[in-house]
Amino acid sequence: MEQFGKVSLFDMVLSLSDAIDLVSPIVNGHHKRVAYIASSIALELGLAEKKQRNLIIAGALHDVGAFSLQERINALNFDLGPAAFKHAEIGYNLIGSFGPFKEVAEMIRYHHLDWAGGAGESFEGDPVLIESHILHLADRIDVLIENKVEILEQSERIITKINEEAGAKFIPQLVEVINGLAVKESFWFDIDSPLLTRILAERVKGDGDRLRLNFDDLYDLTKMFRQIIDFRSQFTATHSRGVANSGRILGELLEFSKQKCQMLEIAGYLHDLGKLAVPVEILNKPGKLTKKEFYQIKKHPFYTYRVLERIDGLKEINRWAAFHHEKLDGRGYPFRHQGQQIPLGAKIIAVSDVFTAITEDRPYRQGMDKAQVIDILEDLVEDSALDLDIVTTLIENYNLINTARQKVQAQETKEYNQIWKQIN
């Protein structure tokens, strides 16, 4: 049994941050650089350690609400219009769904709000945290950095631009802090460093057990992950919830322990984590994918595995989540595992994934009926793609599993619609 008390919250946050930034080389590393710059400002200001740590988390996740690649690219423009508030508000709602991240969510909510001579102290009657303005400044510094230019060659240009906006975009006091940091070569070298993850880890190390997740916390955190993964596309807005619930019920029917069943549910929540690396424009494409687009889709279980493998305590769940496109005869992807190389939990998630995909309604088609679903599942067993015993268990308990799937996906649809209703 894995030691879930030793799962690091910080590693989970960075795994999600890394997955989000995999969507394009253009934005790769943006979240961690913003986290570093923001925490450097907070350190100079002498903010409380908890606020410094929450700023690192906020920096690492601040653009989770920017679902499309185009939104991410647009956010790299130094001057942003009101549209930027949309992804900040979505991020606030998604991040805030995990109780311990309430303050982190508040920081993210107004991270594109200009200071405007002091008017930015509040927004529509709501007070705005100084951490939001720190995040705003850190974010705008990073978008001024050109990846192909030596970092020190850019420092003067960047700081000049930031000072021009003191009082307008940024709090003058914060600009003064950046001016002090900017004279240190080490500040710029850290921003550009391939060791940035380690640098950030050192900054949160003192929090010790406060950044360790017990099993219940991990379970709740991955629910937040699920919505960040799925809510990017209306086509898949409830998919992971259906996979997770179907997987858990199959585990119960196959006499898994209570914790193993919860592990199956977590694996279901995380199985498409790698799809954060796939542009939503591809996920939403109604027509046939090009070969290149299909190859991009095909990467998602590989990215799920690589992003999660850094996390101690998640090895088994990672294998269950990431191997859901492997086939019993070795013709699956991306690792070409076969037979006993594929753990039982992964085989359950594979069946749950196919079952959910073909029974749930999509905007471009209705879910298939029972007879059609059974035919497809049996064909996939015959093709050595799915496990016979698991498929048999599902068919024998079809109505139970399908009714439960419909119920949880209907609830997820309400939550999805609620988020969009709040920002429109």
CATH fourth-level superfamily of 9-212: Hypothetical protein af1432 (1.10.3210.10)
80-94, 211-225, 384-398, 406-420: least confident range: 80-94
Mean pLDDT of 143-151: 93
Amino acid identity of 109?
Answer: R
pLDDT of 29-83, one tens digit each? 999 999 999 999 999 999 999 999 999 999 999 999 987 767 777 777 788 767 6
Mean pLDDT of 214-232: 92
Mean pLDDT of 162-183: 98
- Partnered with residue 8 across adjacent β-strands are 212
**Full-model pTM:** 0.91
pLDDT at 287: 78
pLDDT at 377: 98
Checking if the pLDDT of 3 tops 50, the result is: no
Give the domain 214-423 fold: Hypothetical protein af1432 (1.10.3210)
Mean pLDDT of 153-182: 98
Amino acid identity of 110?
Answer: Y
pLDDT of 153-166, one tens digit each? 999 999 999 999 99
Domains 9-212 and 214-423 share a fold: yes
Q: Which two tokens stand for residue 92?
A: 């606030």
72-81, 95-104, 251-260, 360-369: least confident range: 72-81
171-185, 196-210, 385-399: least confident range: 196-210
39-53, 285-299, 339-353: least confident range: 285-299
**At 207, is the pLDDT very low, low, confident or very high (cuts 50, 70, 90)?**
low
57-71, 290-304, 325-339, 395-409: least confident range: 57-71
Domain ranges of the chain: 9-212, 214-423
pLDDT of 259-272, one tens digit each? 999 999 999 999 99
What is the torsion angle, in degrees rounded to the nearest 10, for the CA atoms of residue 307, residue 294, residue 282 and residue 349? -50
Checking if the pLDDT of 424 tops 90, the result is: no
Checking if the pLDDT of 1 tops 50, the result is: no
